[in-house]
Amino acid sequence: MSSKMWMPVLILSLILTACSEKEEAGAPQVKETPQVKETPQAKEPADSNDAFIPSIPQFEQPEPPEIPQFEMPEPPEIPQFEFPPIPEFPQISVSTTDKQVKINMPDTLLFDYNKSDLKPQAQEVLDKIVQGCAKYASAKIHISGHTDNIGSDQYNLTLSQKRAEAVEKYLKGKLDPGKFQFTTKGYGETQPVAPNDTEDNRKKNRRVQIVIEPQS
């Protein structure tokens, strides 16, 4: 090939090389960012709270000691004073405790209305009381008379006292005075067992009460 033919090719090659170098010189330089090597992290537990709760050892609770059972002794039976029933006169009420026997009798069994003398029937009633008292070696006997609120206070006090004394006189004649001590008192209307608002209630209040305290 002749030198004339190579010249255009050489010139074109030089031009292309110069353009390529110019482009490379004008392009912005990109700095490489250094790569930071990651440190592997420990794997967290599924429940983050578990990381803060220490494991608590489990201890078996000892069984409580057996408490011995003590049987409570039964309280001693308190002897009750007995008094024979009086079925012939159901109107009479008898109650007993460890200290006394209390007998309540309506006044109609012993007295007529507003009277203080014993009726004939009263002797049969009081004889039952004598039989019951005879079983005691000795006793204190208190007899009290009671009325309703009809009449003056003084009249009722006097009537109730006379009735109590009439019963006392009869019992003293039947019981050994050396073994039995008697006291009497008339209370009038001051100790009612029911309101004095009806005739039935007033009948309940008109009564004679005998309290027997056997002596050991």
pLDDT at position 41, please?
Answer: 58
- Mean pLDDT, the chain, whole residue set: 82
What percentage of the chain has pLDDT greater than the value 90? 58
The conformation of residue 178, written as its DSSP 8-state character, comes to: T
Q: Which of 58-72, 153-167, 189-203 has the lowest mean pLDDT?
A: 58-72
Alpha helix ranges (H) inside the chain: 3-26, 120-133, 153-174, 199-205
Residue 110's Cβ-count burial label (10 Å; 0-12, 13-18, 19+) is buried
pLDDT in tens, 6-18: 666 666 667 766 6
Confidence of residue 200 (pLDDT cuts 50, 70, 90): very high
User: What domains does the chain contain, in order, with CATH numbers?
Assistant: 98-214 (3.30.1330.60)
Place of tokens 């990109």: 30
pLDDT at position 71, please?
Answer: 73
pLDDT at 43 over 80: no
pLDDT at position 61, please?
Answer: 75
CA distance 183 to 174: 16
pLDDT at 107 over 90: yes
CA proximity to 210, closest of 113, 117, 149, 129: 129
Q: Which is more confidently placed, 36 or 195?
A: 195
The mean per-residue pLDDT over the stretch 44-52 comes to 54
Place of tokens 């069984």: 63
pTM greater than the 0.75 cutoff: no
CA distance 164 to 129: 14
pLDDT at 104 over 90: yes
pLDDT at position 9, please?
Answer: 61
Q: Which is more confidently placed, 5 or 102?
A: 102
- Report the relative pairing of strands 207-214 and 101-106 from DSSP bridges: antiparallel
CA proximity to 107, closest of 183, 151, 167, 191: 167
In single-letter form, the type of residue at position 55 comes to S
